[in-house]
Amino acid sequence: LECGSSPAGAALPPHRRAGPARRLPPGRMAAGSRSRACALLWAHQVLVLDLIVLGFVGVSSMADPGGLARSVQEGTSASEGGAAVSRLDRDLARSTAPAALAVAFLCARSLWRSLSSKRDALVVMVVFHGCNLLVLCLQLWEDLGGDSGAKLSELLRRLPSSKVAAVNIAVGLAVLVGNALAVACCDHALAVAGRPSAGRALAGTGSTDSDASQDAGRESRKEK
């Protein structure tokens, strides 16, 4: 009987058979896809916002450095004395254009790149906004006089009348937190994207083991 069996009926090796793939429950798949879509949406929004703001700062610092220097003076105590914008102020404002445009180009380039490139760009933006926040805090400390032993009432009287410096710090902190959340969203999206492949690998391993046990059972029945 074994000699008359056809080769077509012979069992294939376990590694050449494809068993039924195990799928995740529909609810878990839908929840994972929704969370990944929300994470990608937030990351794209943050990148577009960074691109718009940095592009505007870079173009305005080249086209109108005096206006940019004047807006910076409005957030410091220098505006109280009616100080005019000097050539040094305009040159310093104009020197920020290359850095702003370079970081804006990094954000624009990452929009049509992979998810890992978006995450790398957002990490650079976190460092960039963190350094800006540090500079703003140092400027506010200089406006307050740098006196650590001063009373709270004296510190409040030393604040600029427009309160632009404090508002800039609050906005910078919000932007920094938003970019940090975008980095976390990219990490979550990468983790969700890696789950199905791992699930398919586990499913393929399980089907191969089950097929091997079935082949062993067939061989034992033939011998009997």
Handedness of CA 106, 110, 112, 114 (dihedral sign): positive
Name the residue with higher pLDDT: 116 or 215: 116
What total number of domains does the chain contain? 1
Q: What is the domain range of residue 58?
A: 34-194
Residue 139 lies in a domain: yes
Residue 19 lies in a domain: no
The pLDDT of residue 210: 46
- Non-local (6+) Cβ contacts of 23 within 8 A are 29, 199, 203
Residue 8 lies in a domain: no
Residue 106 lies in a domain: yes
Residue 159 lies in a domain: yes
* Residue 66: C-alpha distances to residues 72, 73, 97 (Å): 10, 10, 13
Query: Could you read off the pLDDT of 104-161 as tens digits, one per residue?
Result: 999 999 999 898 999 999 999 999 999 999 988 887 777 666 555 555 566 556 555 4
Mean pLDDT, residues 75-92: 68
Q: How far apart are CA 37 and CA 159, in angstroms?
A: 44
Residue 27 lies in a domain: no
Burial class from Cβ neighbours inside 10 Å (0-12, 13-18, 19+) for residue 189 reads: buried
- Non-local (6+) Cβ contacts of 181 within 8 A are 42, 46
Residue 62 lies in a domain: yes
Residue 134 lies in a domain: yes
Give residue 36's identity as a one-letter amino acid code.
R
The pLDDT of residue 37: 86
Mean of per-residue pLDDT scores for the chain? 73
